[in-house]
Amino acid sequence: MLQFPISQDADRAKLRALLEAYYTYERMSATRSFCVHLLALVSVFIWLGVCWPSLLPAQAQVFAAECWGVLLFITILASAEEWKWYHRQARYLTEYQATPEKTQHEGEAPASRGLP
């Protein structure tokens, strides 16, 4: 989970870029996870076809192998996108945290620092 302080003077463009990167990263992570689970499910059918060739028709075995290949390709693409957006999110977070903040507005009380 993404956690960072938000100030009143936060740069909205940087905050928006950070949140969009986080959202896209989470979406790509969920896509990759879903594809890995589908790969495991299709792998069971391939395994069954290899262990007991008479269990599944030849066309079903070929279809399962093709689905497995397509799912593997999609999983690799989703993993690459997840990696890209993870690093983009980290960069945006660093940029967002590096923006100078005003700690006190005119007429406001000092920020609590353990002072009475």
Long-range contacts of 97-102 (CB under 8 A, 24+ apart): 97/4, 99/10, 99/11, 99/14, 101/7, 101/9, 101/10, 102/7, 102/8, 102/9
Per-residue burial over 73-112, b = 16 or more CB atoms within 10 Å of its CB, e = otherwise? ebbeebbebbeebbebbeebbeebeeeeeeeeeeeeeeee
Instruction: Judge if pTM exceeds 0.75.
Output: no
Closest CA to 86 of 37, 32, 5, 11: 32
Residue range 13-61, pLDDT digits in tens: 888 899 999 999 999 999 999 999 999 999 999 999 999 989 999 999 9
Residue range 56-75, pLDDT digits in tens: 999 999 999 999 999 999 99
pLDDT score, position 91: 94
Backbone angles phi, psi at 55, to 5 degrees: -70, -45
Residue range 21-32, pLDDT digits in tens: 999 999 999 999
Structure token digits, residue 83: 């990696």
Structure token digits, residue 108: 């406001």
pLDDT score, position 9: 65
